[in-house]
Amino acid sequence: MPTLYVVRHGHVHPSPTDPEDPELSTQGHSQAASVAEELHARLPGKLPIMTSPMRRCRETAAPLCAMWGVQPIVEPRVAEVPGPPADRLPRAEWIRRSLLVDWTEFIELGGSLSKGHDSIMTHWRAGVLEAILACPHDAVIFSHFVPVNVLTGRATGSDRVACFLPDHTSITVFETTDSDIRLVEKGREKQRSTAHPGK
């Protein structure tokens, strides 16, 4: 039964060079170094490291990869949820709404904003679960706010998009079988008043 340590990326730069793929802030880099130390001290040995292809996750994973001398496995299926076209609804506003709704409402919103987006979101959500269930061994996985919630919702039977609010570089621990996920430890949460899934 693999144990998976799923880490949300660090704090994102407020003025990124690429708004579509932002880098970490100075605070985010400090958080990445701290979570690497925490995982190194917590785990009995080196584990495979998987990361979303997004820059903020790769940068968060980098200190642990350097510490362990391993190359990360880049897994597109654990990237952040794809948004509707920005001209239909700004991503920040769309993601903000995710804190208030369940998956049916969230998918319907995306589908109403862009033809075919509902099927894209359904496929993406299934892909997050498939990627996690396909892990044959214990691993550390660097991902995003919404994917962490997809996994937590599956493990707890919640259909809320934001069933909890994982803070930057919080570690949520799951165990998996061939077909299901069990929540072992919920990661550190941030206050709802300051929560922003995309940053």
pTM of the model: 0.93
DSSP summary character for residue 157? T
Beta bridge partners of 182: 175
Q: Which two tokens stand for residue 27?
A: 């605070």
Q: 143 in helix, strand or coil?
A: strand
Q: How many Å apart are CA 167 and CA 49, to the nearest integer?
A: 20
Q: Which two tokens stand for residue 111?
A: 């589908």
Q: Which domains does the chain have, with CATH numbers?
A: 3-194 (3.40.50.1240)
Q: Taking the CB of residue 124, how many other CB atoms lie within 10 A of it?
A: 18
Q: Are 92 and 114 in contact (CB under 8 A)?
A: no
Q: Going residue by residue through the chain, which has 199 residues, state the pLDDT in tens, using 9 for 90 and above.
A: 899 999 999 999 999 999 889 999 999 999 999 999 999 999 999 999 999 999 999 999 999 999 999 999 999 999 999 888 878 888 888 888 888 999 999 888 877 777 888 889 999 999 999 999 999 999 999 999 999 999 999 999 999 999 999 999 999 999 999 889 999 999 999 876 555 565 5
Q: What is the dihedral of CA 61, 174, 110, 119, to 10 degrees?
A: 100
Strand pairing class (181-185; 171-176) = antiparallel
Q: 30 in helix, strand or coil?
A: helix
